[in-house]
Amino acid sequence: MCSNSSDRKTLYVTPQREIKSIFDINKWYHSKAYAGYMGMIHELNDSVKGVFTTEDIPISPNVMQAIDILDVLQKWTLEYPPEDMEDQRFGNKSYRKWHEHLTQEADDLIYSLLPVEKKGAAIELVPYFLDSFGNATRIDYGSGHEASFLVLMFCLRELGVFVEDDNRALVLRLFLKYLRVVRCLQVTYRMEPAGSRGVYSLDDFQFIPFLWGSAQLIGNKKRIVPESYLKPEVVELHAPKNLFFDAIQYINETKSGPFHEHSNQLWNISAVQTWEKVNSGMFKMYEAEVSCELFLAMFSFMPT
């Protein structure tokens, strides 16, 4: 695990899968890695309570560097336009060319984020970076890949690349840019949802925008209540200002049919009375379902 310790030389190693079965989950839940990861999710959540996306937020050079990298990745989609798929619904093979380019450039991109004395950490960071943008074999993307990006953010915080003053920018600038990139990939290459449970899942691709987006709406003075996101005109108005509504707008743009049919979980959540309760419920869902299932299925994260 990455460390910002300065009193001893840190040994960086390629992450190895430690959680191999359901019987290893207890070890994961009691690890320093889990406590640190969930601590970051809570800390970033708290940093954006009552804060609109459109507010003026300082961006440090390190965060800006990370945003610039994501911008480069998004532009690569122009170099690898989708192939003619005829009647194929999912999985444009041009995505594999895009991902191969990512693999070739990953080391240099991660090196560019690290100070000289921390360059060795790249061996730990690159696997999470590569996993953040989907699976090249299956041409799919899901909230496990989203979690890989969050692990990357966590490691960069541990290394001191990102600091506490960056918290709001990490959520409302860096993570938002990440969403733009992966949505571009999803649409351009018709990526299949990874491990989706259909209408029983919160969303086909993401989870965190709903968590942090609900925090943004806590205590809002614009009378935006949870049931408001069932009204498309209200969603369109507030999507630029809020991650939750932005995620709902993406669903409205990419899915057809009644909302309660294609997004039943979100439709049920709209009946919750306050954003505080939505936010706390999202955390319970993330800890009970997402973090357990995703790390079991996706990660080579060292739990000790």
Indicate the residue among 168, 195, 222 that finishes a domain.
Answer: 195
Q: Are both 103 and 132 inside the same structural domain?
A: yes
The more confidently predicted of residues 4 and 243 is 243
Both 164 and 216 in a single domain? no
User: Are residues 174 and 214 both part of a single domain?
Assistant: no
Nearest CA among 145, 158, 182, 153 for reference residue 299 = 145
Q: Which tens digits make up the pLDDT trace of 117-172?
A: 999 999 999 999 999 999 999 999 988 899 999 999 999 999 999 999 999 999 99
pLDDT digits (tens, 9 = 90+) for 36-79: 999 999 999 999 999 999 999 999 999 999 999 999 999 999 99
Is residue 84 assigned to a domain? yes
% helix / strand / coil in the chain, to the nearest 5?
65, 0, 35
Answer yes or no: do 51 and 170 share one domain. yes
Residue 218 in this model has a pLDDT that exceeds 80 = yes
170 & 95 share domain: yes
- Backbone φ, ψ for residue 140 (5° rounding): -135, 170
Give a yes or no: residue 64 inside a domain: yes
pLDDT class of 291 with cuts at 50, 70, 90:
low
pLDDT in tens, 248-267: 999 999 998 998 888 889 99
For residues 109 and 212, membership in a common domain is answered with no
Give the pLDDT score at 199. Answer: 45
Residue closest to 122 by CA, chosen among 136, 138, 109, 135: 109
Number of domains in the chain: 2
Q: Residue 2: inside a domain, yes or no? A: no
Task: Please report which confidence band the pLDDT of residue 287 belongs to, taking 50, 70 and 90 as the band edges.
Answer: confident
Residues with Cβ within 8 Å of residue 169, at least 6 apart in sequence: 57, 58, 59, 60, 63
22 within a domain of the structure (yes/no): no
pLDDT of residue 301: 47
pLDDT > 90 in the chain, percent: 69
Examine the domain organization and report whether 224 and 174 are in the same domain.
no
Least confident of 82-91, 182-191, 287-296: 287-296
54 shares its domain with 147: yes
Question: Phi then psi for 135, rounded to 5 degrees?
Answer: -110, 120
pLDDT for 302 equals 46
Collect all residues with Cβ–Cβ distance below 8 Å to 4 and sequence separation of at least 6.
158, 159, 160
Do 51 and 174 sit in the same domain of this protein?
yes
Q: What DSSP state is assigned to residue 272?
A: -
The CATH number covering residue 219 comes to 1.20.120.1150
Question: How many whole angstroms separate alpha carbon 278 and alpha carbon 226?
Answer: 8
What does the pLDDT read at residue 304? 42
Run of H or E residues at 141: strand 140-141
Q: In the predicted model, what is the mean pLDDT of the chain?
A: 88
Domain region containing 46: 39-195
